[in-house]
Amino acid sequence: MWADPIVDELHKIREEHAKKFHNDLQAIFADFKEKEIQSGRQVISLPIKRKLPRPASGEEKVDSPVA
């Protein structure tokens, strides 16, 4: 299987970071949040994109109106 050296490097960095926190997800998250605050950059939250419900089987698919 072909290996991408950039992806391998990212995995190594992620594993080293997780190891510092004994793979404790809450501690890792807290570290990222602290770095986010210290960066001084504006952080925005985008709204969640909701999927439209699929038509039930047998129902006709409704397309957008054609002008």
**Extents of the domains making up the chain:** 5-39
Burial class, 18, CB count within 10 angstroms (exposed 0-12 / middle 13-18 / buried 19+): middle
Q: Supply φ then ψ for residue 26, to 5 degrees.
A: -65, -40
58, two tokens:
């047998």
For position 66, what pLDDT does the model report? Answer: 61
For position 64, what pLDDT does the model report? Answer: 59
Judge if pTM exceeds 0.75.
no
Nearest C-alpha neighbor of 53 from the set 61, 64, 44, 43: 61
What's the mean pLDDT in 5-19?
97
What's the mean pLDDT in 40-60?
83
- pLDDT tier for residue 57 given thresholds of 50, 70 and 90: confident
Helix 25-39 with 5-20: angle, nearest 10 deg: 100
For position 61, what pLDDT does the model report? Answer: 59
Q: Is the pLDDT of residue 14 over 80?
A: yes
